[in-house]
Structure 1
């Protein structure tokens, strides 16, 4: 069963603002003492996530099939990112799934005109193909991330209770959030105090 609550949603990990593929990979995460949360657990939460990352209007008609397709792509995106982190071969099934999403819709933004916006470039996909376009955009971002200079910066959060991914934009960046950093430091402090207590000489 998915946990789904906005009050426990962590702050975006470093890199999510620039790479929607990283944001998708982190859209399910562990909550200490509460289990797993999933921002794509339902059509409503999926619509909210797509709107938050700029891939759908807030009133988009997102059905369970759409949410399921996005969760499936997330599995493959995560697998490829983790393969990069671990410096191991990518799973062919995940490569195939991402490439299928990448080529499922035309990538070019067409020249369009209307009285309100006048000349502009936009995707020509109807609302029914909105999720197809979102999957293609995410897949393209993943390809750019892994094949570009930022690919070597992808890392796992250093907190034992966290599985989120981040971009290590500087050498000292270890955790995905301040909360994870504080949790690790508190655990180290507790362990240190316990060790000092155990090693203190007994008094009669």
Structure 2
């Protein structure tokens, strides 16, 4: 997959309200066999995390962390696909989300220094990735268990692999994909008319 700084398509419907939906759509299949991976390199991962307020600009994400994030993305995509198909989820995908959800304490911990006791939420810079994984996993779990999950669908435009929340009859993630679907339908009608 090629790495670029800006996504080639606007966010899919629902991605602005659901971090996990935007995250799942960071691997983009385009016409002509092209693929864009917005998490393809450590600097790209750092940009994405920073843009979503999950890491500071200077987080210095390494390849091992980028690999973990891409692995979580595949698990989230797998869970979305299972939900859409009303099929059983892969246990490994559920386990991966639950592992990320439980790896970061959510309660402010008790700390004690020379000034006495205080509460602090743990998220030092060496735990940025765990925090990001947990936040994304919580977003995925929230979406999958919400009423909106009924509107979760895959884009109908071939070869697009993005997910969206369907509004009305719209089943594509962008105007570009919608235009491709309409053009393919028109071509099929013309071909059928010419053959008949």
1:116-195 equivalences in 2 (<5 Å): 123-168=121-166, 170-195=167-192
1:46 paired residue number: 45
CA distance in structure 2 between the aligned counterparts of 1:15 and 1:122, rounded to whole angstroms: 33
> For residues 127 and 75 of structure 1, do their structure 2 counterparts lie closer, same or farther at Cα, with a shift above 3 Å needed?
same
2:46/2:61 contact within 8 Å kept: yes
CA distance in structure 1 between the aligned counterparts of 2:108 and 2:185, rounded to whole angstroms: 51
Moved over 6 A (4+): none
Instruction: State the TM-score, normalizing by the size of structure 2.
Output: 0.88
Displacement of 1:190 in angstroms is 2.4
Determine which structure has more spread, i.e. the larger CA radius of gyration: 1
CA distance in structure 2 between the aligned counterparts of 1:162 and 1:108, rounded to whole angstroms: 40
The size of the alignment, in residue pairs, is: 189
> For residues 10 and 110 of structure 1, do their structure 2 counterparts lie closer, same or farther at Cα, with a shift above 3 Å needed?
farther
Displacement of 1:31 in angstroms is 1.3
Displacement of 1:163 in angstroms is 1.4
Displacement of 1:134 in angstroms is 0.2
Displacement of 1:35 in angstroms is 2.0
CA distance in structure 1 between the aligned counterparts of 2:142 and 2:90, rounded to whole angstroms: 18
1:74 paired residue number: 73
Task: Tell me the C-alpha RMSD between the 2 structures.
Answer: 2.2
> For residues 19 and 43 of structure 1, do their structure 2 counterparts lie closer, same or farther at Cα, with a shift above 3 Å needed?
same
Instruction: State the TM-score, normalizing by the size of structure 1.
Output: 0.85
1:12 paired residue number: 11
CA distance in structure 1 between the aligned counterparts of 2:57 and 2:8, rounded to whole angstroms: 19
Please state whether the residue corresponding to 2:29 is helix, strand or coil.
Answer: strand
> For residues 123 and 14 of structure 1, do their structure 2 counterparts lie closer, same or farther at Cα, with a shift above 3 Å needed?
farther
Gaps of 5+ in 1: 112-120, 200-204
Displacement of 1:40 in angstroms is 0.8
> For residues 8 and 71 of structure 1, do their structure 2 counterparts lie closer, same or farther at Cα, with a shift above 3 Å needed?
closer
Gaps of 5+ in 2: 111-118
Displacement of 1:7 in angstroms is 5.7
Please state whether the residue corresponding to 1:37 is helix, strand or coil.
Answer: strand
Displacement of 1:153 in angstroms is 1.4
